[in-house]
Amino acid sequence: MMHLPAQIAAYLPEAAGRAEDIGKSGATVLEYPGCFLKVQEDCNVSANEYNMLLWMQGRLPVPQIIAAAHEDGRRYLLTRRMPGAYLCTDALLDDQVRLAELCAGALRTLWAVDIATCPTRRTLDEKFREIEEGLRGGWITAEQAGDPTIYDVSKGGFASPAALFDWLARHRPEEDLVLTHGDLCLPNIFADEHGLTGFIDVGLAGVADRWVDIEKCLWSMWANTTGFFGGRVRPFDRQLLFDALGMQPDEEKLRYYGLLDALC
């Protein structure tokens, strides 16, 4: 059984929790009756998750913190169960009009929050500093890219992460700043039969361009409906999300933030 800090163990039964592996964050997530325990490396992302959850209380539907601790290079976050279910259920993947409506509602909910006191900025200035540090330290590599064609020169890709960063710096767009989730994938958005119930996994949340979340949400809708993660393949219509938002796609920003995601 995993060792737990006393302030966390005090709230949990002796029986081990059930492992939850729907997400791709690399964290260990254990389900207990009425709550979830998330254990991950003590780093900027895990620290930001705790800080943003505190700030979001009363502003957004997010999990209530029961207890938190950091010990021996790990952070432990125990939160109450979010009502509803994540958006990558078969029923919603089969009903893409409804799925698009829920995703659009999630985006509008985030954008409606006043960002004046938000404790975290995830703008291009901040992300560029992180990328520069990662390139110097050698922990940003081509092998990390989710899309291998990004670094396939024969298909119009970039020669290296450094070459991609140079392109991003030279083509930097004007930012339209709002509150962003940062990883707005379908497993991180919860809803029930009445509509949106909340968000989880907010370690990348902060002030950034609204197209960061649009691009990630659109990618997740595509990946979950076209068999990228396995499962049944369904037709995918990206326009449904933009119709639900009442917006036109900004292809330049969608490409830009998709490429940026390969580096941070």
Q: Encoding tokens for residue 124?
A: 């291009």
The answer to whether 183 is a known catalytic residue is yes
Task: Say which CATH number the domain at 42 has.
Answer: 3.30.200.20
Prediction pTM value: 0.94
Task: Give the pLDDT mean for 180-193.
Answer: 97
Task: Give the pLDDT mean for 101-120.
Answer: 98
Domain boundary among 21, 52, 80: 80
Radius of gyration of the chain (CA): 19
Task: Give the pLDDT mean for 88-97.
Answer: 95
In terms of average pLDDT, the best of 3-7, 20-24, 181-185 is 181-185
pLDDT, one tens digit per residue, over 28-81 is 999 999 999 999 999 999 999 999 999 999 999 999 999 999 999 999 999 999
Q: What is the pLDDT of residue 264?
A: 86
| Cα distance between residue 183 and residue 199, in whole Å | 10
Has residue 128 been placed in a domain? Answer: no
Q: What is the pLDDT of residue 22?
A: 64
Task: Give the pLDDT mean for 104-112.
Answer: 98
Q: Are residues 50 and 107 in the same domain?
A: no
Has residue 145 been placed in a domain? Answer: no
Alpha-carbon distance values, 133 to 8, 162, 182, 204, 264 (Å): 33, 12, 20, 17, 11
Tell me the pLDDT band of 143, cut-offs 50, 70 and 90. Answer: confident
Q: Are residues 93 and 55 in the same domain?
A: no
Q: What is the pLDDT of residue 25?
A: 59
Q: Are residues 245 and 204 in the same domain?
A: yes
Q: Which domain range does residue 254 map to? A: 85-123+155-260
Q: Are residues 76 and 196 in the same domain?
A: no
Has residue 143 been placed in a domain? Answer: no
Q: What is the pLDDT of residue 3?
A: 83
Q: Are residues 32 and 113 in the same domain?
A: no
Q: Is 93 helix (H, G, I), strand (E, B) or coil?
A: helix
Please provide the size of the chain in residues: 264
Q: Encoding tokens for residue 156?
A: 């119009």
The count of structural domains within the chain is 2
Has residue 62 been placed in a domain? Answer: yes
Q: Are residues 110 and 36 in the same domain?
A: no
Q: Is 1 helix (H, G, I), strand (E, B) or coil?
A: coil
Catalytic residue, chosen from 21, 42, 183, 213, is: 183
Tell me the pLDDT band of 19, cut-offs 50, 70 and 90. Answer: confident
